[in-house]
A and B are shown apart, each in its own frame.
Chain A
Amino acid sequence: MSEIGHGVWSYVFLFTAGFVATQPWRYLGVILSRNVQEDAEILVWVRAVSTSLVAGLVARMVLLPAGALAAVPLEIRLGAFALGVAAYYGGGQRLIIGVGAAAAALIAAQYGLGG
């Protein structure tokens, strides 16, 4: 059961924190694309800010997860993650190889350890 419930309020929440929080940046991109230089410093900073946030999200999901991943031991999560990164580089930097290897390792390791 999520904190926001399933009623009308939950859709107001999801629309506001989802659509309203996202869409203006896309519209601003359309507007600015007519009169701002592509290599403007502000855009470098913008990328850095969202990269840092998504990196933080990744770390939080792996180290301090909520839900199904929380039931998986930390060493399996970290091991599977490391294996995914290694497979990505070993497999010629193809996303699908890294992503597939990590998920497969996470599942296999749980059955291997849990019996």
Chain B
Amino acid sequence: MGQGEPVTQPPEWTKGASRGDAFWRGIGGVPSTPVLVVVITFLGFGALAHDVGFDIYQAAFVTAVVFALPGQVVLADEIAHGAGLLAAAFAVTLTAVRLLPLVFSLMPVMRDGKSPRWPEFVLSHFTAITLWIEAMRRLPPLPRNLRMPYFAGFSAGLSAGTMSATILGYHLAAQLPPQIAAGFVFLTPIYFFLSLIATAVGGADRMALAVGTVLGPALFLLAPGYDLFLTGLIGGSAAYFMVRRRKRGAGS
């Protein structure tokens, strides 16, 4: 981020391509390693949803309306720990704040300046970390007028994949021995941890990762219910100000 867009030739297929062609190209672009990882983690979410006592419709409903794995897992895990509506909503909303900068930086890359604004609101629903990484990588070489339809096709394909994975993971967890089901549930924490390492862009992110890891379990024991909300707010703010002070100190 921050650097200029890579100077790449537009792919061959974009020559004379219509917006409809770009949509189908977007769907065709779904099979790829990052998407495979996402699909596997949604298998994990399906397994987790089964684990915390959701029925399959609830599991699918959550994937459809949230479409951001951290929020979904927080929601399921909060319910499993007996959190009320308000506590669960607060915790989910803090995980969702990180979507703001993703959407914020993606939209200027995607818009062509001529299209109406409402599709941006619709498509923003599909913005989550993996889609963001892939879109920031794939869209810049495309001509502006094809970017939004390509993104729409890619989003549609990815949604179908994550929805299928949620349902499959749920069934697998119901039928596999508990040792293996636990392995599927385990996909989620390790994936989040490694993604946080992979996408940390500055000192504040890395500090927040360390502080949150320690603060999370401590606050769960001290203030169950609002522990995740407090971990985010206190841990994140502390990390932010620690790094800022250190930067200021180094600068003066």
Contacts and interface: CB of A to CB of B under 8 A. Distances in A.
Interface of A: 1-4, 6, 10-11, 13-23, 25-30, 32-33, 36, 38-39, 43-69, 71-72, 77, 80-81, 84-85, 88, 93, 95-96, 98-99, 102-104, 106-107, 110-111, 114
Given A2-B79, A96-B37, A51 B228 contact: no
B75 A23 contact: no
Given A26-B125, A95-B195, A114-B179, A54 B107 contact: no
Contacts of B52: 2, 66-67
Contacts of A84: 190, 194
Majority secondary structure, B binding face: helix
A50 B58 contact: no
Contacts of B197: 88
Contact of B93 (A25, A103, A110): A25
Contacts of B183: 103-104, 106-107
A48 B208 contact: yes
Contacts of A52: 208-209, 211-212, 215, 231-232, 234-236, 239
A61 B53 contact: no
Interface string B17-43: 000000000000000011011001100
Interface in B168-182: 173, 178-182
Nearest to A9: B85
Given A18-B72, A19-B65, 17 more contacts: A20-B89, A28-B100, A29-B104, A30-B124, A43-B101, A47-B101, A50-B232, A53-B229, A54-B212, A57-B70, A57-B95, A61-B188, A66-B80, A81-B193, A96-B33, A99-B191, A110-B182
Interface of B: 1-2, 33-34, 36-37, 40-41, 47-48, 51-55, 58, 61-62, 65-66, 68, 70-75, 77-82, 85, 88-108, 117, 120-121, 124-125, 127, 173, 178-198, 200-202, 204-205, 207-217, 219-220, 227-229, 231-237, 239-240
Contacts, number: 322
Chain A at the B interface: mostly helix, strand, loop or mixed? helix
Contacts of A16: 85, 89
Nearest to A39: B2
